[in-house]
Amino acid sequence: MARVFVLWDESHLWGVLVLRALRALGLPHVILRAHDIAEGALAGKSTASAPFAPFGGFMGGGADSSESDTPAELDTPALLIVPGGWARGRAERLGARGMQAIRDFVAAGGSYLGFCGGAGLALTSPKGPRAGDSLGLCPWGRMGFAGRLQHFLSGHVRLSLDQAQPLALPGAPEILAPVWWPAQFAPPPKGQHDDVRVLARYAGLGQDFWVADLNLALLPEETLSDWENLYGLQIRPDFLQGRPAVISGTYGQGRYVLSYPHLETPDSPAANAWLAHLLRELGSVDCPNATIPPWHVGTPSVGAAQHWEDPALLAAKAAVERAIAVGESHLLLFWRSPWLLGWRRGLPGPGINSVYALICEALSAAPPAAGSPALAYWAGHGAEFARLAELFCSGLSGLLLAERLDMTVRTTEADQAFTFSLRETRRALFGTAPAMGGLCGELLGMLEELCGGLWGEGRK
């Protein structure tokens, strides 16, 4: 029986990480869309998009899930997982009803596990026009950044875990866990909201830590010190030391755990073991496994079942790979890991990575069955996807070349027309940050719908 639900909207690459992690851990789960939650899915109500209905809730391929699962068996969720992603966009998708439904679910005894943007969604926003952007499960807020470089942090960090807390990983006073461009918690003044527990604090950096597009491991200590002394540039994120990284608390009868480290990251053993422990504690479920293997995006798993060789998706995959190759050849893009694209600061790397990952995930699924909702959806949208993908990839290659030209002429040729054109091309392809819009947003929307359907059919 599946007792773990995952909110899929606005998750993109980060939602794929969570779903791949749950599959690797052998944990049955259900994918929910924001409108499912707004219509009562967390309360066990049957909705127009109930589990196994077209593009509503879908069963994930856990090791012990089976064709005998029925909607009645899926109506008792214990844990809602909210992956990383843009918190405000997700709040807009949920709407007032969906946001209240999550609060009611936790207040009635459910558990909430949020990573990065999913953690931010559960915090309390300050009063003002954006007060409705957060769930308010946790009384803490989100801290602003003194400088933009403080937000461009990624890679493994050392975490000091409070072993007095049952939700901390037992027997592990310190672990390595990855962060991918995290925000920071803003604790209230001492003495207020002391019921919030800090499960882990930042305790140092790992060997693969980056600030924007600078790999700190490749920079000598004396160079970093010179930059600080000569130019007043604080590159090392010393401000992280001792700050809360993972917190927990109660809301009504339920619990929440909010983590800026991505414990679901592939091939991060200590972080994965902690995730498995949290799933057992929060979801009252058994995780047969405790590790998440490496993910080589774009490469089918050895021994996997038959893959879907859809022509539109195959053409889009090849086109995105050609665009990425353009970026690599001009030192704009590079692969940091088998699943994570790296990029020069200012480039739309997250969007490129998300589109490519979702295309590859769709192709790695089993072919949709005749008459299935997924096949029906793609019959109505596949041709439009192919058209938009061709436009997107052509525009992306041109954008990357223009970005390279901009780096060359920026200080010598102050051409306002060129700068304006470059900015408009970025907006057409990727929208305006932090939202993922433009052609990229349209493609991701189609891919999210398609992947939800394919994963639902692919349950074991």
Position 385 pLDDT exceeds 60? yes
Amino acid at residue number 318: A
- What share of the chain has pLDDT > 90, as a percent? 69
pLDDT tens-digit readout, 321-356: 999 999 999 999 999 999 999 999 889 999 999 999
Neighbours of 263 (CB within 10 A): 30
Contacts of 338 (CB under 8 A, 6+ apart): 294, 295, 296, 297, 299
**Residue 160 and residue 177 in contact, taking contact as beta carbons nearer than 8 Å:** no
Neighbours of 398 (CB within 10 A): 14
Structure tokens at 251: 């809301």
Position 130 pLDDT exceeds 70? no
Taking alpha carbons only, the member of 394, 290, 297, 410 closest to residue 346 is: 410
The reported pLDDT for the residue numbered 410 is: 72
Position 216 pLDDT exceeds 80? yes
The reported pLDDT for the residue numbered 442 is: 96
Based on its alpha-carbon atoms, the radius of gyration of the chain, rounded to whole angstroms, reads: 22
Give the single-character DSSP code of 218.
Answer: G
Taking alpha carbons only, the member of 247, 257, 337 closest to residue 292 is: 337
Position 375 pLDDT exceeds 50? yes
Position 170 pLDDT exceeds 80? yes
Alpha helix positions (H), 46-155: 87-107, 117-122
The reported pLDDT for the residue numbered 44 is: 78
Residue in the block written with tokens 């305006």: 432
The reported pLDDT for the residue numbered 389 is: 97
Lowest average pLDDT, out of 10-14, 180-184, 232-236, 396-400, goes to 232-236
Q: What number is the average pLDDT over the span 217-227? A: 93
For CATH 3.40.50.880, the residue range(s) in the chain are 4-283
**Residue 258 and residue 142 in contact, taking contact as beta carbons nearer than 8 Å:** no
The reported pLDDT for the residue numbered 77 is: 72
CATH number at 4-283: 3.40.50.880
Position 159 pLDDT exceeds 80? yes
The reported pLDDT for the residue numbered 73 is: 41
The reported pLDDT for the residue numbered 459 is: 42
The reported pLDDT for the residue numbered 198 is: 97
79's enclosing H/E stretch is strand 79-82
Cα angle: 263, vertex 240, 207; to 5 degrees:
60
Structure tokens at 67: 């064709």
Cα angle: 41, vertex 73, 447; to 5 degrees:
55
Position 91 pLDDT exceeds 70? yes
Of residues 266 and 235, which shows the higher confidence score? 266
d(CA 118, CA 8): 11
Across the strands, what pairs with 160?
174, 201
The reported pLDDT for the residue numbered 241 is: 93
The reported pLDDT for the residue numbered 46 is: 53
Residue in the block written with tokens 């809730």: 57
Distance of CA 137 to the CA centre of its chain: 20
Position 311 pLDDT exceeds 50? yes
**Residue 284 and residue 76 in contact, taking contact as beta carbons nearer than 8 Å:** no
Position 67 pLDDT exceeds 50? no
Across the strands, what pairs with 4?
79
The reported pLDDT for the residue numbered 81 is: 98
Q: Residue 379 — pLDDT band, cuts 50, 70, 90?
A: very high
The reported pLDDT for the residue numbered 430 is: 95
Lowest average pLDDT, out of 23-32, 35-44, 119-128, 187-196, goes to 187-196
Contacts of 455 (CB under 8 A, 6+ apart): 19, 31, 58, 60, 61, 365
Lowest average pLDDT, out of 86-95, 126-135, 166-175, 287-296, goes to 126-135
The reported pLDDT for the residue numbered 78 is: 92
Preceding amide of 173 cis, omega within 30: no
- Does pTM surpass 0.85? yes
Q: Residue 420 — pLDDT band, cuts 50, 70, 90?
A: confident
pLDDT tens-digit readout, 300-309: 765 556 689 9
**Residue 38 and residue 47 in contact, taking contact as beta carbons nearer than 8 Å:** no
d(CA 182, CA 227): 24
The reported pLDDT for the residue numbered 454 is: 86
pLDDT tens-digit readout, 3-62: 899 999 989 999 999 999 999 999 999 999 999 999 999 987 654 343 333 333 444 444
The reported pLDDT for the residue numbered 54 is: 31
Neighbours of 415 (CB within 10 A): 13
Position 435 pLDDT exceeds 60? yes
Taking alpha carbons only, the member of 251, 268, 252, 29 closest to residue 169 is: 268
